[in-house]
Copies of this chain bind each other. A is one copy, B any other.
Amino acid sequence: MSKLRCHISISLDGFVAGPNQSVENPLGEGGERLHDWVVPLASWREGHAKEGGEVNASDRVVEEARENLGAAVMGRNMFGPIGGGPWVNEDWLGWWGDNPPYHYPVFVVTHYPREPVEMAGGTTYHFVTDGIESALDQAKEAAGGKDVMLWGGGDIIGQYLAAGLLDELELHVVPILLGDGARIFGTPGGVRLEQIRSVEAPGVTHLKYRVLK
């Protein structure tokens, strides 16, 4: 059955982005360091059409996270700059250039209707205005039996978790302290988790959980 999976880098003090996110600084102050563990990896570079790179215990985690995906969901604040407003309807095509690293349909949850935008390489952005359940339904339909990736940001992860719609959550715990910024756990209600596995790797530990229904 198609699962909704999420994996995200998080600081040891629980932030998935630093404070004061902006167009110039989409991950907030200090937030770039959340990705220090992944950028040098061969598996990450391959996904971004680059050669070479390091191989360590994180590689199989990155590879596993890319397997069996047919579509994705993301929040409007991840697709475009926070506070951008309706202008996002017009020229904004995401942060990831003409050939985004997704290569599958991406459903953006937003308040602003907009026609789908087809990018190079198999990524099409769809804009969903009737909520997270609808976005997930549409993404599962588009995924054709494969899984759906929930890319973030923090707010929408908390919403899917609290709604009981998330199946797997993997946190890449980075040894930095951001002090402030975006969190992913809002009011979790009765959500229960089961630890699937942990992987120690240079500069990061990968913690994977199943959400119990």
Contact = CB atoms under 8 A, between A and B. Distances in A.
A12 B205 contact: no
- Size category, A interface: 20 to 34
Contacts of A185: 12-14, 177, 179
Q: How many copies does the complex hold?
A: 2
Contact of A188 (B179, B188, B192, B200): B179
A13 B188 contact: yes
Contacts of A177: 185, 188, 191, 193
Given A12-B185, A185-B13, A194 B175 contact: yes
A199 B183 CA distance: 25
A204 interface: yes
Contacts of A175: 193-195, 209
A93 interface: no
A150 to B, nearest CB: 17
A198 B57 CA distance: 13
Nearest to A174: B195
A187 B19 CA distance: 12
A144 B48 CA distance: 55
B207 A205 contact: yes
A202 to B, nearest CB: 8
A195 B191 contact: no
A39 to B, nearest CB: 17
B198 A198 contact: yes
A176 interface: yes
A117 B193 CA distance: 42
19 contacts: A12-B193, A13-B183, A13-B185, A13-B188, A14-B14, A173-B173, A173-B207, A175-B194, A175-B195, A175-B209, A176-B192, A177-B188, A177-B191, A177-B193, A179-B187, A179-B188, A195-B205, A198-B198, A205-B205
